[in-house]
C-alpha cells in the first residue's frame, strides 16, 4: 500500500491486516516504488494525491519495473472526479476505489483481483535484472511520449509525468540513448509514421495529425529528409512487398480473381 496519509484510512488498513494478507505500507511515492521493486507484491493499493509524485506518475514507473509490471494496481483515493477516475484507469490500473468505501467492499475488490491475477510458476521465465532508477525513468518517459505523439509535449511536462525534472531527464536520454529528448521524439514520430503508412489506409494529413506534425507537407518533408523517399513512395513499396509475400491457395480461377495493382 502506498499512501502518504495512512491515518485517514486506518479502518481499511486494519481490515486488510485482519485477513491473511501481509500489508507493507509506504508513506512516500519514492518509497513505494522501491518497495514494489524489492518485494514483488501480489497487489498494490495506491493513492493518487501525494506530494512529490502523484499516484499516476507512480503507476507509470511501476509498469516499467519487472517485479511489479504484472501486479494489479488498485487506486485507493479520495480523488473522486470522473476525470481523475478515467485518468487512473487509463494509466493501466485494474480498479479505482474511493476511500469512503466500507472495509467489506475493499476486501471484496482485493479478493477479486487477487483471484483474477494469473501469476506464472516461479522459474518458468527468468526475471530481468533489477533496473536502476534512471532506466525506470527512461522507459516510463518513452512510454508516456509514445502514447501522446500527437500532443505538443514540453520537457517539463514529460519530466514531471515520470517523477523527475527537465535537466535530469535530458541527462538520462543523453547518457542512455546518446540523443536529446526531442530528437528521440522526432525519431519516434517518424517510426510510428512508417507503421501507419504500411498498415493503414489513413490519408497523409490524418497520419501527420496522429503523430504530431502540423501539416501533411511538414510531415512529408521530415519523412523524406530522414528516409530518402516520400511517404507515398514508401507506402507503395510497402504494399508491393506485402502483396508479393502473401501466399496464394490452389483455388479454381473461376472462383477467385487475383488482381494486383
The set of cell numbers assigned to 195 is 507503421
In a domain, 252, yes or no: no
Model confidence pLDDT, tens digit, residues 26-47: 999 999 998 888 888 899 999 9
- Same domain (yes/no): 156, 110: no
For the cut 50, the answer to whether the pLDDT of residue 105 exceeds it is yes
Co-location of 39 and 96 in the same domain: yes
Say yes or no: 95 and 13 in one domain: yes
Residues 15 and 70 in one domain: yes
Number of domains in the chain: 2
157 is a domain residue = yes
Q: Final residue of a domain: which of 116, 147, 182? A: 116
Q: What is the pLDDT of residue 229?
A: 80
Mean pLDDT taken over the chain:
83
Q: Is 250 among the domain residues?
A: no
Query: pLDDT category, 177, cuts 50, 70, 90?
Result: confident
Are 235 and 164 in a shared domain?
Answer: yes
For residue 8, the number of C-alpha atoms closer than 13 Å in the C-beta half-sphere is: 13
Q: Is the pLDDT of residue 60 over 80?
A: yes
CA distance 173 to 175: 6
For residue 126, being part of any structural domain is answered with no
Q: Is the pLDDT of residue 201 over 60?
A: yes
- Phi, psi angles (nearest 5°) of residue 200: -140, 170
The confidence band for 132, taking pLDDT boundaries of 50, 70 and 90, is confident
Structural domain that includes position 57: 6-116
Output the domain CATH number for residue 15: 3.40.50.2300
Last residue in a domain, options 67, 83, 116: 116
Please tell me the predicted confidence (pLDDT) of residue 103. Answer: 92
pLDDT above 70: residue 73: yes
Strand partners, 73: 44
Confidence of residue 261 (pLDDT cuts 50, 70, 90): very low
Instruction: Tell whether 57 and 146 lie within a shared domain.
Output: no
Over residues 136-145, the mean pLDDT reads 92
The reply to whether 122 falls in a domain is no
pLDDT band at 205 (very low <50, low <70, confident <90, very high): very high
Identify whether 196 is part of a domain.
yes
Segment 245-259, tens digit of pLDDT: 544 443 333 332 323
Residues 94, 171: one domain?
no
**101 and 160 co-located in one domain:** no
Amino acid 228: pLDDT: 82
Q: What value does the mean pLDDT take over residues 98-127?
A: 71
Helices 181-199 + 216-227 axis angle, to 10? 100
Q: What pLDDT does 247 receive?
A: 46
Res 15: pLDDT: 93
Distance CA 32, CA 30 (A): 5
- 141 shares a domain with 215: yes
Give the distance, in angstroms, between the CA of residue 160 and the centroid of all CA atoms in the same chain.
Answer: 15
Q: Is residue 251 part of a domain?
A: no
Read off the CATH number of the domain in which 184 is found: 1.10.10.60
- Residue where a domain stops, chosen among 54, 81, 116: 116
- Please report whether residue 127 resides in a domain: no
Judge whether residue 11 has pLDDT over 50: yes
Region 1-13: mean pLDDT is 94
Same domain, 230 and 138: yes
pLDDT for 87: 83
Check whether residue 101 and residue 142 sit in a common domain.
Answer: no
- 99 plus 175 within the same structural domain: no
What confidence tier does 241 reach under pLDDT thresholds 50, 70, 90? low
Amino acid at each position: 500500500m502506498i499512501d502518504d496519509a495512512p491515518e485517514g484510512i486506518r479502518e481499511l488498513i486494519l481490515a486488510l491486516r485482519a485477513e491473511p494478507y501481509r500489508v507493507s505500507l509506504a508513506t512516500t511515492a519514492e518509497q513505494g516504488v522501491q518497495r514494489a521493486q524489492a518485494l514483488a507484491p501480489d497487489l498494490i493499493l495506491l493513492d493518487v494525491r501525494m506530494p512529490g509524485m502523484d499516484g499516476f506518475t507512480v503507476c507509470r514507473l511501476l509498469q516499467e519495473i519487472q517485479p511489479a509490471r504484472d501486479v494489479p494496481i488498485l487506486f485507493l483515493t479520495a480523488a473522486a472526479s470522473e476525470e481523475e477516475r478515467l485518468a487512473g484507469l487509463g494509466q493501466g490500473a485494474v480498479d479505482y476505489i474511493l476511500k469512503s468505501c466500507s472495509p467489506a467492499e475493499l476486501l471484496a475488490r482485493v479478493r477479486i483481483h487477487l483471484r483474477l491475477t494469473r501469476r506464472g510458476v516461479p522459474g518458468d521465465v527468468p526475471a530481468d535484472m533489477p533496473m536502476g532508477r534512471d532506466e525506470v525513468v527512461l522507459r516510463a518517459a518513452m512510454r508516456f511520449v509514445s502514447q501522446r505523439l500527437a500532443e505538443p509535449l514540453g520537457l517539463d511536462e514529460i519530466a514531471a509525468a515520470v517523477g523527475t525534472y527537465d535537466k535530469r531527464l535530458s541527462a538520462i536520454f543523453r547518457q542512455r540513448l546518446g540523443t536529446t529528448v526531442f530528437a528521440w521524439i522526432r525519431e519516434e514520430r517518424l517510426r510510428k509514421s512508417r507503421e501507419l503508412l504500411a498498415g493503414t489506409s489513413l490519408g497523409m494529413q490524418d497520419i501527420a495529425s496522429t503523430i504530431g506534425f502540423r501539416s501533411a507537407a511538414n510531415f512529408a518533408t521530415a519523412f523524406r529528409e530522414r528516409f530518402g523517399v516520400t511517404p507515398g513512395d514508401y507506402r507503395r513499396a510497402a504494399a508491393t512487398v506485402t502483396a508479393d509475400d502473401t501466399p496464394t491457395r490452389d483455388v479454381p480461377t473461376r472462383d477467385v480473381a487475383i488482381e494486383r495493382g
